[in-house]
Each structure stands twice: as C-alpha cells, then as structure tokens.
Structure 1
Amino acid sequence: MSHKLSEVQIKNFKSCINTELKLSGYTPLIGYNNAGKSNALTAIQWLLKKTSLGLDDFFDRASPVEVIGVIEGISQDLLGQMNANHRSSIENYITDEKLKIRRVQLTPNAKAAEIRISVWSDTEQDWVPNPNGIDNALKSILPEPIRIGAMENAAEDASKAKSTTTIGKLLAEFLEPVRAAHEVELAGHLGEVSRRISSDGDMRFGELAVIDQNVNRRIDDLFPGMSLKLHFETPTFDELIKSGSIKVYENQNQGRDFSSYGHGAQRSIQMALVQYLAEVKRGAGGQLTTTLLLIDEPELYLHPFAVEQIRQALLALSQNGYQVVLSTHSAQMVTSDQAKYSLLIRKNTQRGTYARVRLADAIQALVPDSVHQMEQLFSLSHSTQVLFAEQVALTEGKTELRLLPFIFETASGRTLGQEKLALVAQSGVSDTRKSLDILDAMDLPAKAIVDLDYAFTRAINDGYLQDTDPDINALKIILQRLEQQGAITLHTNGLPKKGVVKPSKAFELLANEQDAVIHIENLHNRLKAQGIWVWTKGAIEAHIGTASKDELAWSQFKASVDSDGLEATCPQHQTLIDLVSWLRV
C-alpha cells in the first residue's frame, strides 16, 4: 500500500467525544458491545464521504462535529501519477509525504454545502478552508469508502444492490474487466433499444405511436398546439452495473432473492464477494487509489473455518490497494502479526469512546526493537487473551496456566472470562518487569504471579527490592545453614544451584524452615503491594499438594477438589483464596 489514512481524531460524534485512532493497513477494532467501534467506523466514513449528520450524531448538540485525518505516503511518485489539477490542489499542503485534512459540521441537519473540508497548512500554521478542487483531489487517492455493516440491513442492502450499497460497491469494484471487454458491444445493443422506445427513436414501435396519437387527441381539445410522446430512457452501462442484484440458486432450482435466506447465508455470500475481490486484486499492482474497506464484525454468523478464510482475504486486500478497518469480537480475526497494531476500544462516562495505546507503540517506547518481547507477549495464543481482557495476570509456569482458571472459578464462583481477566504464561520471570510496564503503558491493569526464587534474583534486578534487603539477607543465612546440613547446594552468591536437590526444591525447603516464614511473608507483602504475588511455599505445587507438573497430577488435583473440596485437597487452601481475592481487586 503506497498511502493510507494513518491517524484519525474524532470529536463530538456520538460516543466519540475526543477519540484518537492510529490506523495500519489492517486494523482490527476490538472491544465489548456498545464501546463505540461502529461509531468510529462511521466517523471515518464521514471524513471521506460528506453527508449531513442529524441530532443523534452529536454528543453535544451545541458543539460541532469534527473529524481530522492524516494521509501518509503521498510520495512524489504518487503525485506524478495524479491529474495535474488534482495535484495542484494538495501538493502545497504536503509535509513529509503527509496531508492533514479536517471535516466539520457546525450544527445538526446542516445543508451539504455547509459541511466544509479543510487542509492543514504548515506555512500558515492554520487550517485552510475548502481549497479549490480538494474534494476531487482526495477522491483520486482515497475514493469513497466501502462500508460493510452488521446484518441489520443486509437483506435490503443485498436485494437493492444500488451503487450506495455494499453489494453494489463490491460489484462495481470487480466488474471493470466486463466493462473493458463488452462496453462497446453493449452500447450498440442499448442504442438499438433506444431507437425503438425513446421519443426520438427512428424505429419506434408502432404501438407507442398509436398511444401517442390517442392521447394527443384529448390534449388538443384542452390545449391546442400541444402534443406529447411516450419516452423510455435507456440505461447506460454504468447504470446497468449499479442496478445489478444477486439471485441465489440451490440444486438448479429457480433463483431466489438474497433476502429470502437467513443471516448466516447472507453473510456468507457477502463475504464470498469480499474473498473474490481479494483474488481479483491480488497482485494487480500499479493502483493510484487506496480504498478504505470499513467492516462491522466480518465474522458474524460464520463458522470458524470461514472466519479464517475471510481474515486471509481481508489481509490480502490490505496489501493490494485497500486499507481495512474492522470491528470484531473474534480472536480469529487477529493473528500474532496483527495483534500489535490492533486497537482496544473502550468507553467510560468521562472519556466516551477511546482507544488504548497499541501494543506496537507501547513495546517500542519501553523496549525498542525487542523482537523477543513482542513474540513473548503477543503470540496468537497470548493476544487472544490480552486483546479481549480488561485486566491481565502474568504467570510463570504451566501449572498456573492449567489450574488457576479452575481454582479461580472454584474459589469465586465466577470464571476468568466473566471477570474479563486474561491469564498469560510468560516464558520466564525475566520478562516480568517489561511485561508489566508494557501493559501499564497500554492502560491495561496487570499483575504477576511468580515463584519464591524471583524475590532473590529478578525482583532486585527489576528494582522492586533492594540488594541490601534485610529479609533477603536473613533468608540467605538460613540457606547457608541448610547447605551446612547437607540439604542443598549453593552458588558463591549464596543462592541455590543444582546439586543435592534442584534449586526449586531448595526454595521449598527454605519455606518450610520456621524462622524463614516471617521474612518470606515480609517479601510477599512488599511485592504484592507492587502488583507481584510470590508463592510463599516456593511454588504453586507446594500450595496445592501436587508432587509433579504433568497432566496426570493436574487431573488428579481437579478430581480431588471436585469430590472433596478445595480446603480438604490443598495444604495451603487459604493462600489460594487470598490469591483469587487479590486478582479480583
């Protein structure tokens, strides 16, 4: 894609009080129902397609609606391909290959002529209202968007299929080869029709002449000297295309109107047209325009395999002359590659609809060029959780990932999904601080759950504890005692290493020492206050009473809790209850 709409600011439009969006070639808008995703799509459409907004479109009816957009990638090569008049309308307002435009409507139900577009001038440091020819110049690089809404009006849209409807626009997009091959031939046929039914046709049907004569005798009695001829306008090629519709056939039976089918079939056919459009456009290249494709919930009514196919078709379009912006509730519409550019759309009373900081922007700001961090946090399985959550819990091991959802529901009576809480497994505790900082930059509340050894190593490196911490020093003395007893093996830095037992077992033995309990509790409480939960018995396994980390042990634990309850199964059941309560705060 040579150019695209990269930034949009929406002011006073419905729930978008002051909404800022950063757009890529393929931008999923992810959010719960009524967050304002569709409002954002409509505002983007309005920026490029002038229509009069009504009372309900204004958040504050005493203030104007204003939408500002930045078009980037307007290179000298692109300008050179434009019509000279179009180029002259915009080239003086382009800075660093960017053009900033603004559309404003001052009052509800204003006349179309009163809805003005302007461009930003760096020279004047102000908006220049409606430069000569700006609308046509913009249409030459960003034509009227194609909007595919949710299914409320799908039947009407599909059956009419006029130029303003989804189907009509899609048909117009890929029927250009038909025009190229047959426009002259069809024009000849239409000319023959015109000769027979138009008022001036030289081969008019005799029956039309008879009707004309009979009517004119009556007119002559009332208005002498006046006459009429019946006239039937012959459509042009463009008008034929615009009036195209769709008939659906099953088992060679007579075709039925699209509207007679259910929403699932309607959506499938609608998306099939999108898929075909992607095939037509793939590899076409050399296009001057970038067309915005704005879609509400493309996954609606489709089965999982079809959702994946639609996602791939939209991705293909985003690389071949289209910029795709969609609202979605489906993680299948977002791969790990797109997760970092997805927009988390939220709404509250104070801010209205707003977008949280994108993953890509948060990562780049905090850990620039960190490929590992991006892969760690936002692989597909992780993005599925993170992008659809209101809060995140980072975990260290597989046991937490497998059992905490079960423990959470058992202790609270609610699922993680009901609490809008995502559970994300880290590859290691070394990611903890960076992960928490990234999620904080996204305004996404997050906490971490770690093993006891974190307090002795990464917590100090990450700045949560001091290397002179008195509790750490006291616990190191106890570790030395355990080594002297032959129970564990220590590094020269005083921390456990593989030897008599594994380091994880060494920390578990430490936690069982009576004089260590108070110091571990102190560390636990200090880190908990900073959003990090430390297992005071070493790791989760010691709290739930499992000796291994495998499917058999996890299944046995769940079966025991189901039959005997959490308190009877877990040696440290109160710790688990406390953890669940902490996660829910």
Structure 2
Amino acid sequence: MKLSKVEIDNFRGIRETKINFENFTTLVGPNNIGKSTVLAALNLVLDNKKPTLDDWPNRDPNGDLMRITCRFEELEDWEKRRPSISKLLYRDSLIVRMEASCNAETLKVETEYSVYCEYTNYPWVELKWADFKSHDLFGELSEHFGKSKKDFFSDISKVEEYMDTYHADKCPTVADWVEKGFPNSLQQAVPHVMYVPATFTIDEELRNTNKTSPFAILFNETLFPSIKKNDCFEDYKKVADELNRRVKGEGEDGPIPELDDTLSKLSDSINEVLDFSSSVRLELGDIKIEESFLKASKLIINEEIDTDLIYQGSGVQRALAYALLESNAYQLAKRGDESRSIIVLYEEPELYIHPHLMRRLKSVLVSRSEQNGFQVICSTHSPFLVDIGNNPESLKLMRKDQNGDRTITEVTSQIFEENDDYNERNHLRAALDFHPSVAESFFAKRALIVEGDTELAVFSLAKELADKLGVDIPLYKDTTVVSAGGKWTIPAILKTLNGLGVDFRVVHDKDQKEKRDDELDQLHHLHPYRANTKIKEQCGRCEPFVINDTFEHILWDQMENEIAPSSDKPYNSWSRVRNFLEGHIDLTQRSKNELVNLLGYSFS
C-alpha cells in the first residue's frame, strides 16, 4: 500500500492542510513553513508516538482537537485478503485517523486511533449491555447464546451469523469511523515508517545499550543471527562455558591456579580479621553471549585507516544513519513471505552532502521509490532533489496564504503540451538534467526567467548597474534569476510556475533576425522565433520583456555599428558591463535606456 493523502489539523505550526503524495514526493517552500512538521506528523501517526503539549499550535490546545488523517491506496492483493487489514478497508482504501485532546487543567494528553470503514451495524454494536438487554431481540438471542455478557460474546461470530441469517433487515451495512487500538489492530496494517530527521547525533544511532537504537536492531535482527550460524560460534560458547566452570573451580582440570591462590589469600585475610572459617570464590553468573557481543561491537569505517564513526564527517555519519535505518526497515517490514510497505520520511537529505554527490543522492532516492512497496517523502531546499520533469505531481510547494494558514500547490502532467514534434515535458526534463538550477525557480518567492548564461552573467551585476543608472529595483532581493537553458524550455517552466502560483517575469530574445513577415511565416515550427507566441500565452497579464533582436544587442548598439562578439558571449557580455561599471568604457544612450527599462521590468 501507498500513502496517497494526509490531512493535518492543529499540529505545531499547521492549523489545517491537505497533501497528496506520489511514490517520490518533495516538499519545498521557505524556512519555517512547515515542511518538517508534515514529516513529523506522519512519523507520529505511523510510529504510534504520543503527541505532547508542544505539538499544539503555540503550545495552546485551546480545546481544539489535534487530528491527523492518513489515506492509503494501491493495496496489494495479499493485503486486501489479510483479515487484519481487509476488515479495516473502505472501498479498497485504508483510512486511519489519530485524534488527540489535552486536558486544560491537568495538561494530560489523550489519543484515539480510528479507521473509516464499512461494517455491519448489529443491534449491540452501538448499545451498552444494559440497554441491549431491553432490545426486542435480546430474548430470542439470549436463548441461543446465553444471558450473561460473557456467554453472549464468547463466540460472537456465531451470533453474527445467526443475525445475518434470520434478521438481516435489522443489520444494515454502514460506513463510519470505528475506534481501533494501534498496537493490536493497526500496527501490522499500516506501512513501516523510516524517519531521518535533519538533526541527530550518531552516538544515539549507534548506542548499543539501547535495544531500540538502529545499531542494536541491526545487530540483533541481522548481524548476530549471521554470527550464530557460523560453526566457530558453537566452539566459542563451549570455551566460554568451560572458562566459567574453571573460574568456579568446577572445570575438568580443576580451578585456575593463579586465581585460586589470590582467592585463598583473600579468604585467609577475612578469617584472620573476623575469626571464623570461610572461603571467597569468584562467581561470574551466566554469561549472556548476545549482550556481551552487542556491548563489545561497533561499526568502523575503513578508508585507508580504521576510524571510529564519531570522528567521521557529518556527511558520512548521516549517510550511515540512513543506511542503518533502511536495512532495519527491510528487516522489520518482513511478514513471512510478505512485507509491509516502507515509507521513508527524509528531512533535508542534502545536508552535509558534497555537491557532486547530489545527483547520485537523488538517483538513489528515486530508485528506492520505484521499488514495490517503497515510498519516499522528503523536505528539501535543494533544486537537485526536484523530480518534476519526470513526475510533475511529485513537487509540493508550501507557503502561507493571506490568513497565515499553510497552503499546498502542485501541478499535473496534463498542463504540458505533447505531440510528435514538440514535447514540453521532455524540454523541461532535459533542462533539469543538464541545468539543475532551473529548479531554483520553483523555490523562488519571485522568479525572473531568462534564456541562458549570457543573461545570467549580466544580471549578476544588476544591483551595481541599477545604482550606476539610478534605477529603483525594490524587488531585487526577492527575485531569483534563473536560466531556462534554452528558449523552448521557457513555456514548460512558465506553466509549472503558474501551476504552483509563483510570481515571475520573463526576458527573452525576439529572434527575428531581420527576416520579413513572409520569411517568418516559412520558419520551421521549432525555430526560436516560434516560441515567442507560446511564451506570451503563459505570461497572462504580465507581458514578457522581448529584446530586439538578441540580448547582446542591448550592450552593443547596432545603430552605432557596434558588433557583438560571436563567441564566449556570457564572458564578453559580463566583461563589457563590468568595464562600463568601472568607467573604462561608456555605453550609448540607447543601450543605457534599454538597460534602465530592463532592470525596471525585472525587479519592480
């Protein structure tokens, strides 16, 4: 089964929100918007953790119920057949709700788990026993199944069968919430959760004195059983037992001489002081081999030299914590020949990871999510972890509305145009593969989309240009300049930004190349000029800033016979602006006016 949706009410900073999930889902948004809160809410429900006062908004329950509702779909056939799960389903979905209340005086927190399912509403289901005894069917039923509550419910299945046979009209099927105890009813039904928080200490993960630590679970469930299968383990136990007997003086060869001498001297000294006859001996008790192995064991990273993990870098420590949790998840999710689904909740996977490994990290997480029974949900600030090109629905943008409530926006695959000659998703997918920074636009408060690196190079000097030209650019700090990596990628990016509700501006070349109207009509449908119309369609009321004819023509005035270099355009454009800022060259008034218009459009 897969988690398809969660509804969260009154949990930490979230008053109310709903989120749909894919096999691989990334939550993005500004800091302190609630991305980690969503993961914490899922972990709380799926791992049966009890909320505390701190988990209510502003630490003030104010009589409000905390409610987290999870919907699971895509159940496998064996899950639907399993009695412990099938009885909890509603139309092939498992819907689980956790509600928590807090007593205003005692601050005691009470929780209740329930499922929304269809069930047969027998007369005794909603009545107390005393009230049921007054029911018109009680006399008939008590003759067959007993008058005491104990006798009546001793084999309730037979009572239900009798009712279904003779009084089916009094046993309607209803759909409603039914309270269920998590450990008894739900723990083996819901997926196993694997939670990787942003902050942790590796010594807690590796602590071998805590039986619930990831390392202890790994050792007890996987490592030690493998050790016990080895022939040497039985020899080890025999030697340990014989040593224990020798310490007690019960070994085949008698006591250990040096030990016996020491204990005899202790006995003589005590008897001399206390004036009585006694003997001191060493008692080891039963040696618990498994506990001894666990206490003596630790993981070492071998890279040129053996290094204890607490001395490894944070990236290595966090990667190992993930590996430990993943290994345990596989083991703990096993149920005979069948396995529970696994949901990975990964908070900011990019933390401490070297930049060149980011692509590999994304590939690992996506590949995990494609495995049967595996789902990955992560919060991130990294454009490298966005998979919107392959699965547009995987990106969830969180932000606040005018009332301060958290809202979720997403896009669907249907927004992209796809035909034999033009596929917007492929353009976006290619751009994200070769220019991951394109995804920065989805994180932006306000995005400025440009065609390529030349524009990006010039806009890196936007603040200095504005100061020199006397242009007011009030939204400069709120604007992220993003290179689309090509003109035909811009329509797909704009459709995505529109779907996510991200404010944007667009700057692109006209690409007319001095062609007449009749020549323009003959251009191939994928000529850069043809993209102008599609870009304009996505801009709505925000007209794009169209440069006649290419971006370089702003800096090199053709009317004054200035010729832009045909090679190394990004560097040459950046260098020309830098030289202008430093007073080494001057630009024509026409170029300055165009730059003023460009900056004003882009940042105001």
Distance 2:537 2:350 in 1: 45
Q: Could you give the per-residue CA deviations for residues 317-374 of structure 1, whole angstroms, max 9, x where no partner exists?
A: 32154322222222333354366513223346734444321x3x2x425758998222
Amino acid at match of 1:541: E
Amino acid at match of 2:102: T
Distance 2:17 2:375 in 1: 20
Q: Does 1:153 align with 2:201?
A: yes
- Whether the 8 Å CA contact 1:67–1:104 is kept in 2: the answer is yes
Unaligned 5+ runs, structure 2: 119-172, 268-282, 558-562
**Structure 2 partner of 1:29:** 27
> Which of 311, 314, 317 is equivalent to 1:266?
317
Amino acid at match of 2:598: L
> Which of 482, 486, 490 is equivalent to 1:423?
482
Q: Does 1:385 align with 2:408?
A: no
Aligned positions of 1:250-399 closer than 5 A:
256=308, 258-271=309-322, 273=324, 287-318=338-369, 319=371, 321-335=373-387, 336-337=389-390, 340-347=393-400, 350-357=403-410, 359=411, 361=412, 363-364=413-414, 372-378=423-429, 379-380=431-432, 381=435, 383-396=438-451, 399=454
Question: What CA RMSD, in Å, does the superposition of the two structures yield over aligned residues?
Answer: 5.0
**Structure 2 partner of 1:40:** 38
Amino acid at match of 1:8: V
Amino acid at match of 2:342: T
Task: Tell me by how many angstroms 1:561 deviates.
Answer: 1.8
Task: Tell me by how many angstroms 1:7 deviates.
Answer: 0.9
Task: Tell me by how many angstroms 1:447 deviates.
Answer: 2.6
| SS of equivalent residue, structure 1 residue 155 | helix
Q: Residue 28 and residue 235 in structure 1: after superposition, are their counterparts in 2 closer, same or farther (change >3 A)?
A: farther
Aligned positions of 1:109-148 closer than 5 A:
114-121=110-117, 124-130=174-180, 135-148=183-196
Distance 1:254 1:402 in 2: 46
Distance 2:305 2:457 in 1: 52
| SS of equivalent residue, structure 2 residue 22 | coil
Distance 1:261 1:312 in 2: 24
Amino acid at match of 1:119: V
Task: Tell me by how many angstroms 1:58 deviates.
Answer: 0.2
Count of residues paired in the alignment: 485
Q: Could you give the per-residue CA deviations for residues 90-132 of structure 1, whole angstroms, max 9, x where no partner exists?
A: 2xx331x3211111111179767x31111123664532222xx
**Structure 1 partner of 2:543:** 532
Amino acid at match of 1:393: L
Distance 2:507 2:598 in 1: 9
> Which of 556, 562, 584 is equivalent to 1:545?
556
Task: Tell me by how many angstroms 1:44 deviates.
Answer: 0.4
Task: Tell me by how many angstroms 1:177 deviates.
Answer: 6.7
Amino acid at match of 2:115: V
Q: Residue 100 and residue 250 in structure 1: after superposition, are their counterparts in 2 closer, same or farther (change >3 A)?
A: closer
Task: Tell me by how many angstroms 1:527 deviates.
Answer: 11
Distance 1:572 1:143 in 2: 62
**Structure 2 partner of 1:491:** 518
Unaligned 5+ runs, structure 1: 215-229, 455-486, 508-524
Aligned positions of 1:197-236 closer than 5 A:
none
Structure showing greater Rg = 2
- Whether the 8 Å CA contact 1:194–1:233 is kept in 2: the answer is no
- Whether the 8 Å CA contact 1:118–1:127 is kept in 2: the answer is yes
Q: Does 1:568 align with 2:586?
A: yes
| SS of equivalent residue, structure 1 residue 74 | coil
Distance 2:365 2:538 in 1: 45
Aligned positions of 1:497-512 closer than 5 A:
none
Task: Tell me by how many angstroms 1:300 deviates.
Answer: 1.8
Task: Tell me by how many angstroms 1:417 deviates.
Answer: 9.4
Amino acid at match of 2:482: L
Q: Could you give the per-residue CA deviations for residues 54-76 of structure 1, whole angstroms, max 9, x where no partner exists?
A: 22210151112111111111243
Amino acid at match of 2:587: T
**Structure 1 partner of 2:603:** 584
Distance 2:414 2:201 in 1: 41
- Whether the 8 Å CA contact 1:297–1:329 is kept in 2: the answer is yes
- Whether the 8 Å CA contact 2:221–2:331 is kept in 1: the answer is no
Distance 1:427 1:582 in 2: 21
Q: Could you give the per-residue CA deviations for residues 402-429 of structure 1, whole angstroms, max 9, x where no partner exists?
A: 5444446633799999535242427546
Distance 1:527 1:78 in 2: 45
- Whether the 8 Å CA contact 2:444–2:480 is kept in 1: the answer is yes
Amino acid at match of 2:345: L
Q: Residue 180 and residue 15 in structure 1: after superposition, are their counterparts in 2 closer, same or farther (change >3 A)?
A: farther
Distance 2:9 2:500 in 1: 22
Amino acid at match of 1:558: W
| SS of equivalent residue, structure 1 residue 162 | coil
- Whether the 8 Å CA contact 1:412–1:580 is kept in 2: the answer is no
- % identity of equivalent residues: 21
Q: Does 1:400 align with 2:441?
A: no
- Whether the 8 Å CA contact 2:362–2:385 is kept in 1: the answer is yes
Q: Could you give the per-residue CA deviations for residues 247-300 of structure 1, whole angstroms, max 9, x where no partner exists?
A: 4366898874x335453442243345468789999xx99642112222222222
TM-score, length-scaled by structure 2: 0.65
Amino acid at match of 1:120: Y
- Whether the 8 Å CA contact 1:163–1:243 is kept in 2: the answer is no
- Whether the 8 Å CA contact 1:7–1:69 is kept in 2: the answer is yes
Distance 2:541 2:381 in 1: 32
- Whether the 8 Å CA contact 2:453–2:485 is kept in 1: the answer is no
Q: Residue 20 and residue 564 in structure 1: after superposition, are their counterparts in 2 closer, same or farther (change >3 A)?
A: same
**Structure 2 partner of 1:19:** 17
Q: Residue 447 and residue 285 in structure 1: after superposition, are their counterparts in 2 closer, same or farther (change >3 A)?
A: farther
**Structure 2 partner of 1:79:** 80
Task: Judge which range, 370-379 or 24-33, deviates more.
Answer: 370-379
| SS of equivalent residue, structure 2 residue 96 | strand
Amino acid at match of 1:103: M
Q: Could you give the per-residue CA deviations for residues 528-554 of structure 1, whole angstroms, max 9, x where no partner exists?
A: 981123436444333222645744344
Task: Judge which range, 97-106 or 147-156, deviates more.
Answer: 147-156
- Whether the 8 Å CA contact 2:555–2:591 is kept in 1: the answer is yes
Distance 2:11 2:242 in 1: 48
- Whether the 8 Å CA contact 2:33–2:406 is kept in 1: the answer is yes
**Structure 1 partner of 2:497:** 439
Distance 2:476 2:294 in 1: 46
Q: Residue 185 and residue 399 in structure 1: after superposition, are their counterparts in 2 closer, same or farther (change >3 A)?
A: closer
Task: Tell me by how many angstroms 1:27 deviates.
Answer: 2.0
Task: Tell me by how many angstroms 1:42 deviates.
Answer: 0.8
| SS of equivalent residue, structure 1 residue 326 | strand
Q: Residue 526 and residue 152 in structure 1: after superposition, are their counterparts in 2 closer, same or farther (change >3 A)?
A: closer
- Whether the 8 Å CA contact 1:171–1:241 is kept in 2: the answer is no
TM-score, length-scaled by structure 1: 0.67
| SS of equivalent residue, structure 2 residue 4 | strand
Task: Tell me by how many angstroms 1:243 deviates.
Answer: 6.9
Q: Residue 250 and residue 573 in structure 1: after superposition, are their counterparts in 2 closer, same or farther (change >3 A)?
A: same
| SS of equivalent residue, structure 2 residue 343 | strand
Distance 1:37 1:244 in 2: 39
- Whether the 8 Å CA contact 1:5–1:72 is kept in 2: the answer is yes
Distance 2:552 2:49 in 1: 62
Amino acid at match of 1:385: E
